[in-house]
Structure 1
Amino acid sequence: MAMAVASSTMEVDQDLPGFRFHPTEEELLGFYLSRVALGKKLHFDIIGTLNIYRHDPWDLPGMAKIGEREWYFFVPRDRKAGSGGH
């Protein structure tokens, strides 16, 4: 999955007083993931794209765009060539 972030996309300052990012599962799937899957851009650069399987778990918090105890990433799917079987 490739996701380009346009220059008009706003970055959210993680030190912004009072700002908390606590989406529900429905919001994560119904808004954030569905927009990315449809190729639509997000207006805020809150969730980054990262193949989390290529990093050690203790390195992930430093790679997140926002969050102290919860971190969110879009994880690209590996595309594998088909073998032609059923």
Structure 2
Amino acid sequence: MINDNDIIDTLEELEAFLRSVESGKLGLDNAAGIALATNNADGRPFIAVLDDNHQLLLGRWVTQEVYDNGKDLVRNAPQQRH
């Protein structure tokens, strides 16, 4: 499920999205992983929340800049702020 009107266009928005998923604010059951990916049909980048079977639970489009520069943030998870 990807909302075409909801695009993450800054690293700050990406970090906020990751924190929302990790904290359970989005109410996703069985969320097991998060990955940056590209749509097979048109190559458009998105962030994917996946379940234990690697099925898409939630996706949000991201800009190419966020895709290119947000990989470490997704891979390492946002660091706790003090």
TM-score (structure 1 length as normaliser): 0.33
Larger radius of gyration: 1
Between Structure 1 and Structure 2, which shows a larger proportion of strand residues? 2
